[in-house]
Structure 1
Amino acid sequence: MKLFSTYRVLAFVVGALLAFCSFVALPLRYLPTEGSSLQQLGETLSVLWVAHGWAFMAYVVVTFLLARKLRWSIGFTILNLAAGLIPLLIFFMEHQVNRKVRAEHPELVTPSAV
């Protein structure tokens, strides 16, 4: 199922970007002395927030489509959607989705989605 594979890739990309921006770019931008090379590096790396935003929008659409197709509960769907905004939560949720899809819809899992 292409949608499931797309979800997994987007979850990883959104999660990696959010973690990097939250734990590297943000501290480098605001913690070092104003004008220092580290602070300037943080300013430069902050452009990745835009990349996270675009990837997150795609993640929301794909997650919503997957949730509708697989008839997830509203709570599970909202938690998945919010996971792209809370650092590291998305990796846990992707694992939960992977387990849920494999258990409930094994026919949708392609060998390449391992």
Structure 2
Amino acid sequence: MTKLFNVYRVLALVVGVLLLVGTVGSLLKYLLEDGTTLQRLGDDLTPIWLVHGWIYIVYVVVAFLLTQKARWTIPQLLLMLVAGLVPGLIFWVERRVAHQLRADHPELAQDQDAR
């Protein structure tokens, strides 16, 4: 499960960054006057949402597998899933998940350096 935990952490970081970049891009695209440089940048960032969506699907599967192996509750899984949809929340949730997994299953959440 250590590999699954590490995959979860990387996916959480990637999903979180893509979500923040996509949100900033959308704000630039829709809140600024058409034709400005920043508005065009926001328009150019629109494909980020497609990438975020596909990686989020992989994140959902990995989060589900992690909660099943750790025998966590449905609310814990739902928090992990919602975190991938609310900008910035996933960074806090990832730290919470890492802390909880280390407390509940220290043998399963070993850092690569500790081995």
**TM-score strictly above 0.5:** yes
Could you tell me whether the CA contact under 8 Å between 1:5 and 1:113 is conserved in 2? no
Question: Which digits, 9 at most, give the CA deviation of each residue in 1:34-78, with x for residues without a partner?
Answer: 122221111101111111111100100000011111111111111
1:97 aligns with 97
1:4 aligns with 5
Gap change, CA 1:14 and 1:106, over 3 Å in 2? same
Q: Partners in 2 of 1:103 and 1:31 — Cα distance?
A: 44
Could you tell me whether the CA contact under 8 Å between 1:17 and 1:48 is conserved in 2? yes
2:16 aligns with 15
More helix by share: 1
- Structure 1 segments of 4+ aligned residues over 4 angstroms from their partners: none
Q: Partners in 2 of 1:70 and 1:113 — Cα distance?
A: 22
Tell me the C-alpha RMSD between the 2 structures. 1.4
Identity percentage of aligned residues:
49
Give the TM-score normalised by the residue count of structure 2.
Answer: 0.92
Q: Partners in 1 of 2:113 and 2:55 — Cα distance?
A: 20
Q: Residue 74 in 1 paired to residue 74 in 2?
A: yes
Q: Residue 57 in 1 paired to residue 51 in 2?
A: no
Q: Structure 1 regions of 5+ residues with no counterpart?
A: none
Q: What is the deviation of 1:113?
A: 7.3
